[in-house]
Chain A
Amino acid sequence: MDIIIVVSIGIVASLLALIVKEQNSSIAFFVVVVTGIIIFLFVLQKITGILLLIEQLGERANVEGLYIKTILKIIGIAYITEFGAHLTRDAGLSAIAAKIELAGKIIIITVAIPILTAVIETILHFMPGG
């Protein structure tokens, strides 16, 4: 069972971080960062299977490839933003975490511009006056 591996690594790593925190807290934060990376790498291998399914469904429903690509890119950006924001908030710096989340949202919107324009154009086509 994979979830058992993830949970045990998480518990062991949090114990290690607590031990190291007394001596020097900076390296304890590194332990937390590396734990996040390891669990993320573990999850990434599973996500490839899900993404293949999404792409196949997209082709079968002959949805345009651009939309699927943009959605996948947005999911990736959201993952990285959330990863960084939670880490900095964990280190106690919630101001920086808020800035990271703001940047992530803006980047996602910029990536989603083609989709937004496409939606607006289709709506305008339906309008009788348009």
Chain B
Amino acid sequence: MLGEAMILFQIAGIGMIVAIIHTVLKQMGKEEIAQFTTLMGFILVLLIVLGKLSELFQQIKSVFLFQG
């Protein structure tokens, strides 16, 4: 259970770090790079969450003996 909760903290950490980097880059005047970092952070979290989602759906399929 603890391993699962770690993922939660990782995602929240990524979200906050990306937001901080975004504001720092904006202060430095590099707008596009700030947008790119935010996008990268979003894609990274998306990959993590999609991995968990596919694992969940595999579990549901095996538990509810889905053949269809």
Which A residues are closer than 8 A to B by beta carbons? 5, 9, 12-13, 16-17, 19-20, 23-24, 26-28, 30-31, 33-35, 37-38, 40-42, 44, 47-48, 51, 69, 72-73, 75-76, 79-80, 111
Minimum CB distance partner of A110 in chain B: B68
Task: Please measure, in the bound complex, the distance between the C-alpha atom of A13 and the C-alpha atom of B11, giving whole angstroms.
Answer: 10
Q: Are A76 and B66 in contact (CB under 8 A)?
A: yes
B49: chain A residues within 8 A (beta carbon)? 30, 33-34, 37
Q: Are A79 and B60 in contact (CB under 8 A)?
A: yes
Interface string of B50-68 (1 = CB under 8 A from A): 0011011101110111111
- Contact residue among A19, A24, A26, A72 (Cβ-Cβ distance under 8 Å from B65): A72
Task: Please measure, in the bound complex, the distance between the C-alpha atom of A44 and the C-alpha atom of B22, giving whole angstroms.
Answer: 39
Q: Which secondary structure characterizes the binding site on chain B?
A: helix
Minimum CB distance partner of A72 in chain B: B64
Q: Are A73 and B57 in contact (CB under 8 A)?
A: no
Q: Are A12 and B19 in contact (CB under 8 A)?
A: no
A-B contact pairs, 12 of them (CB 8 A): A9-B8, A12-B8, A23-B20, A24-B38, A27-B12, A27-B41, A27-B42, A33-B49, A35-B8, A38-B52, A80-B57, A80-B60
Q: Are A24 and B19 in contact (CB under 8 A)?
A: yes
Minimum CB distance partner of A6 in chain B: B1
